[in-house]
Amino acid sequence: MNALTQTVAERATGPLPAGHPPVETAKIGVLLVNLGTPDGTDFKPMRRYLKEFLSDKRVIEWPRIAWYPILYGIVLNTRPKKSGAAYAEIWNTERNESPLRTFTRAQGEKLAVRLAGHGEIVVDWAMRYGNPSIAERTDYLMSQGCERILVYPLYPQYSASTTATVNDKFFEHMMGKRWMPAVRTVPPYHDEPVYIDALARSIESHLATLDFEPEHVIASYHGIPQSYFRKGDPYHCHCQKTSRLLDERLGWPKGRLITTFQSRFGPEEWLQPYTDKTVEKLAKEGVKSIAVLNPGFVSDCLETLEEIAGEAGEIFHEAGGENFSHIPCLNDSEAGMDVIEAMVRRELRGWLD
């Protein structure tokens, strides 16, 4: 019998003595974690979410003495309304939640089906900011007897502002545990063939549905401040490598695929070229047709649906462009699930027979 499917009691020398705490069968937990989501689009839930998100030192690295007066004095008074209106445009009204939560749940459910042959695996999902929280879902996994947990930050490219803060939060919660599970975290997978292939296939199949041929396809990644890059965050290099491998896999003429960075926040200089400026420049130079994909986002969310499919499309048209299409993220598609499953199976080696 596999040691992992035995209860601790079975592995022990005899029956549990009276008064011994109950012991579950030893299992392996897989926890998918994405960025976060407000619970609603009104001012209060938006403010709560933004407060948690923008108080994270991994996200805003400015000294607190400089940042908090801006955060509490300006950002948390103005941004909840603005962001709430943007979320309202993309909100999943059927489930009353953000698309990011809907897709992350679907990924968790589909991964559980794909791993169903391994009875000892329990799959769950959480958000770094907002609900369901990492603490709540980790406690659930532990209540199911998970003595080993694989934490999967859903970011193909590593950044301290995303991957590291997921792991920080998980380990912060573990600090309060007497019986801490063995833990593994999924590393970045920006150059994994299964991921590059899934992106390429999603581009090819999307372009085949269009009634125009884009002169350029833009790979738009979420940006980070230049200062983080200069301090050694590998994110920029990971994005560039994803794009290079994608370009090679697509085999297109040089220059058709363009890499850009979106979602600037605050006054600092961020990674360049900026997506909005590039889209505008292309249209002004006479480019009539483009498509944009977001390889760094595992799921569609505010930043892809509102900022790219919505705003960037408007910028392109206003500057003289004619045809604009947003290529959906991999989400819970077969190709997207192939990537998630491959990463999980690879990282579970040695824990699974």
Tokens (6 digits) for 262: 């979106």
Cβ–Cβ under 8 Å, residues 267 and 218: no
Binding characters for ligand L6N33NVT, 63-102, by CB under 6 A (x = yes):
----------------x---x--------------x-x--
Question: Residues annotated as binding site for Fe(2+)?
Answer: 222, 303
Binding characters for ligand L6N33NVT, 212-251, by CB under 6 A (x = yes):
----------x-x----------x----------------
Closest residue (Cβ) to Fe ion? 237
Looking at the Cβ atoms of 129 and 170, the one nearer to ligand L6N33NVT is 129
Least CB distance to ligand L6N33NVT at residue 282 (A)? 24
Looking at the Cβ atoms of 90 and 257, the one nearer to ligand L6N33NVT is 90
Which of 104, 159, 262, 333 lies at the binding interface for ligand L6N33NVT (CB under 6 A)?
A: 159
Looking at the Cβ atoms of 278 and 304, the one nearer to Fe ion is 304
Helix (H) or strand (E) holding 9: helix 8-11
Q: What is the dihedral of CA 314, 318, 322, 324, to 10 degrees?
A: -20
# residues contacting ligand L6N33NVT (CB under 6 A): 22
Q: Is residue 297 a contact residue for ligand L6N33NVT (CB under 6 A)?
A: yes
Looking at the Cβ atoms of 120 and 276, the one nearer to Fe ion is 276
Q: Is residue 148 a contact residue for ligand L6N33NVT (CB under 6 A)?
A: no
Place of tokens 């483009």: 290
Looking at the Cβ atoms of 5 and 131, the one nearer to ligand L6N33NVT is 131
Distance between CA atoms of residues 235 and 248, nearest Å = 20
Helix crossing, 43-54 with 76-90: angle to 10°? 110
Q: What is the dihedral of CA 91, 96, 98, 101, to 10 degrees?
A: -150
Identify which of 294, 300, 338 has the alpha carbon closest to the alpha carbon of residue 195. Answer: 338
Which of 96, 144, 237, 268 lies at the binding interface for Fe ion (CB under 5 A)?
A: 237
Q: Is residue 88 a contact residue for Fe ion (CB under 5 A)?
A: no
Distance between CA atoms of residues 69 and 146, nearest Å = 42
H-assigned helices in 129-192:
134-143, 165-174
Tokens (6 digits) for 162: 């995303």
How is residue 94 annotated by DSSP?
T
Least CB distance to ligand L6N33NVT at residue 79 (A)? 6
Q: Is residue 296 a contact residue for ligand L6N33NVT (CB under 6 A)?
A: yes
Binding characters for ligand L6N33NVT, 264-283, by CB under 6 A (x = yes):
-x------------------
* Exposure letters 72-104 (e unless 16+ CB within 10 A, then b): eeebbeebbeebbebbeebbeeeeebbbbbbbb
Least CB distance to ligand L6N33NVT at residue 78 (A)? 11
Distance between CA atoms of residues 269 and 224, nearest Å = 9
Least CB distance to ligand L6N33NVT at residue 344 (A)? 20
- Report the partner that residue 158 touches, choosing among ligand L6N33NVT, Fe ion, none (CB closer than 5 to 8 A by kind): none
* Exposure letters 148-176 (e unless 16+ CB within 10 A, then b): bbbbbbbbbbbbbbbbbbbbbbbeebeee
Give the residues lining the site for ligand L6N33NVT (CB under 6 A). 35, 37, 59-60, 79, 83, 98, 100, 155, 159, 161-162, 222, 224, 235, 263, 265, 296-297, 301-303
